[in-house]
Homo-oligomer: A and B are copies of this chain.
Amino acid sequence: MTQLEDRGQVWPALDGLARDLSLEVLIRGPLPRRELAAKLGVSAATLTRTVAPLLESGVLIELEEPLAGGPGRPARLVDVPASTHRFVGVKLTGECLHGVLTDLRADIVASRTVDLDGLEPARVAAAIGRLVADLDAGQDATAVGISFGGVSHDGRTVARAPFLEWHDVALARLVEQATGLPVILENDLVALAGAEHWFGEGRTVPSFAVLTIGIGVGYGLVVHDRVVTHRDVGIGLVGHYPLDPQGPRCPNGHHGCAEAMLTTTGISSQVSVAHRRPVGYGEALELARGGDPVALEVVTAAGHALGRLIAAVANLAMPDRIFLSGEGIELARVAWGAVWEGVQRDRDPAASPVDVVVQPYDSDQWARGAAAIAIQHHVLGSAVTAGS
């Protein structure tokens, strides 16, 4: 146990090259020394000298299996001991907590969901405390990350969270008192983008956007290998985005904005109204798949709107790739034709095709994002937004 704690202390203390090196290994997976030297722009000698004490202290390990190749001495792979670290990620919504226990590479080890019995900060903090204790039964977690649909400027205080009706709640402190672990807060989309950036498919491109559809519409952005954190990230930047002048109205009275067209509730309520009975989101998509005219119309319009949103992101943020995710993203698969048509419509024909990746949605993804933020914060010391 003390050894684990010692190892926990090691990362933040790393200096320039040792830090960059460990980060590279963490993010780009096991690598031979030679390749690491090339990536970091240092000589092989320096690399050996830097790696040696890190192996000694346990920050890095050397894999048993050498990298088989042609002639010559086979390369030994340097890696992080990912599976000996534990981090907790918690996604906080207005109804429940979704938590995951992960290793150092944000691979999920365990997962739990619990309902909230009240939204007062103290109650929520206590519930998070119990969730963390439940997930981290071995008590060897290094840090806790919490993500939510709202704004935190410092990672310690919830500056704003509309669906919780919180303002300036020092949630990190409360949860630290409950768990005894370091806690870091972050907007849910920044967290998801962070996870994608370090531990997902976003590793391979220097810039990408994440669009999520579900109860809300979310947007996160990575440019020049760094997450874009604007003071407004996390409040509905894309929610009011106008997509279809003939579309349904949102609660604010806008016609055809992203909130009204794309959210699960927006779609299911449109279908429900037409069918004069409550139709859930899944059923609405099923009806559309089956050819139900009303559902098809609603879903096609939504797909079209999603496509135009994608085009807008591609045109204005110019990412190399756009990831689609969120609990309602099945829409993109059901209405892919309409999505692509929407993209084409608002995109210059001469422009290169937009690289859109629909991610298989998994209810752990949001919490994994929170864990990724905890990992980043632990590994980088403080600068969460810094890139690879």
A351 to B231 CA separation, bound complex (whole angstroms): 9
- CB pair A348–B237 under 8 Å, yes or no, is yes
The residue from B160, B240, B245, B352 contacting A347, defined by CB atoms under 8 A apart: B240
- CB pair A235–B318 under 8 Å, yes or no, is no
- CB pair A237–B316 under 8 Å, yes or no, is yes
Interface stretch (choices A73-81, A220-228, A267-275): A220-228
Residues of B within 8 A of A350 (CB): 160, 162, 235-236
Majority secondary structure of chain A interface residues (helix, strand, loop or mixed): loop
Given contacts A313-B316, A316-B237, contact A346 B228 (CB under 8 A): no
Kindly supply a per-residue 1/0 record for chain A positions 233-265, scoring 1 wherever the CB is within 8 Å of any chain B CB and 0 otherwise. Answer: 101111111100100000000000000000000
A39 close to chain B: CB less than 8 A? no
A276 close to chain B: CB less than 8 A? no
A160 to B318 CA separation, bound complex (whole angstroms): 18
Kindly supply a per-residue 1/0 record for chain A positions 309-349, scoring 1 wherever the CB is within 8 Å of any chain B CB and 0 otherwise. Answer: 00011011110100000000000000000000000001110
A219 close to chain B: CB less than 8 A? yes
- CB pair B348–A233 under 8 Å, yes or no, is no
Which residues of A pack against B, CB within 8 Å?
160, 162, 207, 219, 221, 223-224, 226, 228, 230-233, 235-242, 245, 308, 312-313, 315-318, 320, 346-348, 350-352
Give 15 CB contacts A-B under 8 Å: A160-B350, A219-B316, A221-B318, A223-B224, A223-B228, A224-B224, A224-B226, A231-B352, A235-B350, A236-B350, A237-B316, A238-B315, A238-B316, A240-B348, A312-B312
**Which 9 pairs from chain A and chain B are nearest by CB?**
A230-B318, A245-B245, A223-B223, A237-B315, A316-B316, A232-B351, A224-B224, A236-B348, A235-B350
Known interface pairs A223-B223, A228-B318, A232-B352; 7 further A-B residue pairs with C-beta atoms within 8 A, sorted by A's residue number:
A221-B316, A230-B320, A232-B351, A235-B350, A237-B316, A239-B348, A316-B317
